[in-house]
Structure 1
């Protein structure tokens, strides 16, 4: 990961949000908001629950890669 992790609240839930720079984006991912590819080499965000009931390890394992725009409008 390349950026500073921060916490955001969305729809009553806490989320960790961590930016990934284009230089660190070495794989393709599927954005959960738009279902389009977050292409390798594209700066984006990694997002996971900060308040999940199954614990930190489960929350981290369920993290998803989002287009920055999709997270902002979501």
Structure 2
């Protein structure tokens, strides 16, 4: 198979570092419930969502977090299907 002679776009170090950090999941406990929290970078935010904390819109291109129950009470598939997108500041005060 012949090789492609096209130049591949070079990504900046900051861009790849942001993508790496954006994928890091963590577990937090809120009101006795364990939650998985995954940051979404501005570059990864491709859809509009409604924040359950304030009821406002999270527009395309706005960094935010996605949360879902980590305790598996309803089963992993159901917990993941019930995930919600929050403004970062709304999640911090929830």
Provide the TM-score with structure 2 as the length reference. Answer: 0.75
Runs of 4 or more off by more than 3 Å in structure 1? none
Structure with larger RCO (C-alpha < 8 A, sep 6+)? 1
From 32, 53, 66, give the equivalent of 1:33. 53
Correspondence 1:10 to 2:30: yes
How many residue pairs are counted as aligned between the two chains? 74
Paired residues for 1:44-55 under 5 Å:
44-55=64-75
Gaps of 5+ in 1: none
Q: Which has the higher helix share?
A: 2
Name the TM-score, length of structure 1 as normaliser. Answer: 0.95
When you count strand as a share of all residues, which structure comes out higher?
1
